[in-house]
Amino acid sequence: MVNLSDMPGIVLIFVVIVFVLGVGATMLTDLQEQQCEDVAGTFTNGVCSVETSIAVNSTISGLEGIETISDWTPTIGLVIVIGLVIAILIGSLGFALGFGRGGRRA
């Protein structure tokens, strides 16, 4: 059963995941810019003019993957919050109806 005391840990894990995604996206963007300059291309508005390099294509795929995962972070956060609220409500309802922690009547 989830308690309110578990909430800081869950929130911290979620914040760390979002932070890692942000740092990863920044690093991949910088790497893509450097790779583009290495193949004599120009890097403007996040797009490399030359995409013949396998490294550049791999970096683009990585950025697209991180973008896809990042698009889901608000939904994941909402599901975590809803799960916590439901767990707290069910626990409170159980105590209100006279059930103890083990689900047995007191």
pLDDT in tens, 38-86: 666 666 655 666 656 677 777 778 888 888 888 888 888 888 888 888 8
Give bridge partners of residue 99 from the DSSP assignment.
105
How much is the pTM?
0.56
Q: Which two tokens stand for residue 82?
A: 């809803």
Whole-number average pLDDT of the chain:
75
The two structure tokens encoding residue 67? 């973008």
Residue 22 pLDDT: 83
Domain ranges of the chain: 4-72
Separation of alpha carbons 90 and 78, rounded Å: 18
Write the secondary structure of 10-27 as one string of H (helix), E (strand) and C (coil). HHHHHHHHHHHHHHHHHH
